[in-house]
Chain A
Amino acid sequence: MSAGIFWLASYPKSGNTWMRLFIANLNGEEEEAVDINELYTGSIASGRGWIDDVLGFDIGALSHDEIDQLRPDVYRWSAEQAESLEYHKIHDAYTTLADGRQLIPANATYGVLYLLRNPLDVAISFAHHSNCSIDKAIDNMSNPQFAFCGGTKRLNNQLRQWLLSWSDHVISWVDAAQINRLVVRYEDMVNHPMTTFSKVAGFLELATDENSITQALEHCTIKKLQEQEQEKGFKEKMATSANFFRKGKVGDWQETLSETQIQRIVTDHCQVMQRFGYLDSQGQPLVNPKPIERQSIQQPAFASQG
């Protein structure tokens, strides 16, 4: 039996939770949908508990940089100990430590599923999630030094995560040629679910028969997830935001963003947006992205609507 770690990597608000729910439902043995508050596909890479537990000593008195030095070994060790395939969410960019080691070493990686979403839609969702203005979210997405939990005056139950800018985040993972990876766009998950999720299931070595995929997808439509959240809340929601499962819509930016905001995002991220089909040949944003050309990424498998 295969064993190791699949990383479910993405910039925040790019479909990671939806993907985890799909995996949980696909793996689930029950007929009923997985409870969104019982969603456990594996600890997030930045979870303090995971690191602390493997190390066997307290990291509560270590600096962010010191903790980062320990993380690659923890992941490698965990991957070696895994008795089956594990699916761990990660929001960190694919970064290199000061000593040249990768935060996520190749030998801790069975595979990476990288999810990306049009940054024009990410900005809206990220602003809701962070309870900040859309302009602030756009600032954060263009900040090459942006990190979650990077403060030095306390240590949360989440470790510091370097997100970098949205473009840097995408490039860091997509161009990491040393690891086995599949890149999937959120828009293809929405617009071409069967094709896209079947490809994902195959890559993640999960059930790929049509019935299983269809049922798993039915259990996690945005409407059903909203209903579950309405009924019993969602523990992964930020306290400051009204709800987690909001619209999940492709192209919300057309109605929500100002022309200035659209231009800012396009200017900040034009190269990566162009590369992943989010701009037309004139550099204008597209609601439904173009099919990706294979040469957009160095050698990984790529699930597009194909």
Chain B
Amino acid sequence: MYSYQAFGLAISSEIELPQLIPVNTSDDLSVDVTIEYGKIDKNGLKDPTSKDLYCQSTINHLWLHVPEVAWFEVMNGNKIVVMAETGADLQSIRLFLLGSCMGCILHQRHYLVMHANTIRFGNQCVMFAGASGNGKSTLAAAFHQRGQQILADDVSAINKQGDVTPSYPQIKLWHDAIKQLGIGFSGLNKIRLQVEKYAYPLSDTCFCQQPLPLSAIYLLSSHNEDEFLMEPINGFKKFNPIKNNTYRPKYIKGLELQSVHLKQVGQLAKRIRVTRITRPNRSFQIERLIDFILEDMQSHGMAV
């Protein structure tokens, strides 16, 4: 078995996960999450309370089928079982293990899981949320280039103490983003051979390995105008944007965690800033976007 840590959890896996930070097995750590191969009923769960196209669930138990890749079962916040499809490659299996399945584990463990990146600023951190394809990872990589530490790319989890926990030391970037940022492809591996998307590894100094309190969420969107907009969202209006940017709301419903989730969202909304940033969709203008964000943070007294 391989031993790793992510999201503040000790993970013991039958499948090697080179993206994760290994931990020394001689350390006498109790295991929080086990990942193993096993037999899964291809038809789904016996009595699912929620049944979708490729996803079924009961309380504490999720069944997921990713066609051509694998079937997964995620249980009780502490176990992931994998049954690979014939001919599936390990790269693809790992992606869904570390994405959907770990996201589900975190939901089951009552983390507030956001579809967002998290960047360190001083002794706090800030999340960047927004629909897929809106440039979240590109923005995270650009912040990294400016010397900021990264806590999480794509899936960010807030623990019961209200801190964002470090995820995996990498950012996934499309070919175009790598070119735009002038990163260069040498040493980068594709996340899957089938797509022009790469894993950009973060060194120990670039990846923040300690949980940090969240101070703000920026919601990224774009429009067909030329100006940048910064709109603070206040009071109860913060609730829906946080709720809507939660990672895989379908899992929350299926796992019957709605009431826990709404409470978490409400608590978070009370103590953080939420701001919507709209950028021109004509071109990314990443440097301008970052300057715009840093200016806003400074105006709120943040160390940037």
Q: For the complex, what is the distance from the CA of A73 to the CA of B175, rounded to whole Å?
A: 29
Asked if A32 CB lies within 8 Å of chain B CBs, one says: no
Number of A-B residue pairs with CB-CB distance less than 8 Å in the complex they form: 93
Question: B98-122 vs A: 1/0 string, CB under 8 Å?
Answer: 0110000000000000000000000
Q: Tell me the complex Cα distance, A62–B194, Å.
A: 7
CA distance A298 to B216 in the complex (A): 58
A184 to B262, CA, bound (A): 47
Mask of B61-86 contacts with A, CB within 8 angstroms, 1/0: 00010111000000000000000000
CA distance A195 to B274 in the complex (A): 50
Q: Which one, B5-13, B129-137, B159-167, B287-295, is touching chain A?
A: B129-137
- Select B132's contact among A48, A66, A70, A237, beta carbons within 8 Å: A48
> For the complex, is A77 an interface residue (Cβ under 8 Å from B)?
yes
Complex: A233 Cα to B223 Cα, angstroms = 10
In the complex the two chains form, what is the Cα distance from A96 to B2 in whole Å?
A: 44
Within 8 A of A (CB), among B212-242: 223-226
Please state if A154 and B174 are interface contacts (CB–CB under 8 Å): yes
**Residues in A neighbouring B191, C-beta threshold 8 A:** 61
Among A123-160, those with CB < 8 Å from B are 151-157
Chain A positions within 8 Å of B131 at CB level: 48-49, 157
> A239–B66 contact, CB under 8 A?
no
**Chain A, interface residues (CB within 8 Å), range:** 20 to 34
Is there a chain B Cβ closer than 8 Å to A218's Cβ?
Answer: no
Note all chain B residues with C-beta closer than 8 A to A56.
52-55, 64, 100, 248, 250-251
At the interface, yes or no: B143 with Cβ under 8 Å from chain A?
A: no
Q: Mask for B5-48, Cβ within 8 A of A = 1, else 0? A: 00000000000000000000000000000000000000000000
Query: How long is the Cα–Cα vector from A156 to B131 in the complex, in angstroms?
Result: 10
Tell me if A69 counts as interface (CB < 8 A to partner B).
yes
Which residue of chain A has its CB nearest to the CB of B72? A57
Q: CA separation between A69 and B68, bound complex, in Å?
A: 10
The answer to the question of B140 belonging to the interface, with a C-beta cut-off of 8 Å to chain A, is no
Contacting residue for B224 out of A48, A54, A237, CB 8 A: A237
Q: CA–CA, A240 to B224, complex, Å?
A: 8
Q: Are B195 and A48 in contact (CB under 8 A)?
A: no
Which residue of the partner chain A has the closest CB to B100?
A57
Task: Mark out the residues of chain A between 39 and 55 whose CB falls within 8 Å of any chain B CB in the assembled complex.
Answer: 48-49, 52-55
Residues of A within 8 A of B99 (CB): 57-58
- Chain A: minimal CB distance from B69 (Å): 9
If A58-B100, A73-B53, A235-B224 touch, does A152 touch B195 (CB 8 Å cutoff)? Answer: yes
Q: Within the complex, what minimum Cβ distance (angstroms) separates B64 from chain A?
A: 6
A106 within 8 A of B: no
Contact A52 B100 (CB under 8 A): no
A205-253 interface with B by 8 A CB criterion? 233, 235, 237-240
B53, B100, B196: which contacts A153 (Cβ < 8 A)? Answer: B196
A74 within 8 A of B: yes
A135 to B36, CA, bound (A): 58
CB contacts under 8 Å to B, within A251-293, are none
Q: Which residues of A approach B to under 8 Å, CB–CB?
A: 48-49, 52-58, 60-63, 66, 69-70, 73-74, 77, 151-157, 233, 235, 237-240
Known: A55-B54, A63-B194, A157-B132. 11 other contacts (CB 8 A): A48-B131, A56-B55, A56-B248, A66-B68, A73-B53, A152-B196, A153-B179, A154-B176, A154-B177, A233-B224, A239-B224
Q: List 15 A-B contacts (CB under 8 A).
A: A55-B54, A56-B64, A56-B250, A57-B64, A58-B95, A58-B132, A66-B194, A151-B176, A152-B195, A153-B179, A154-B176, A157-B134, A233-B225, A235-B223, A239-B223
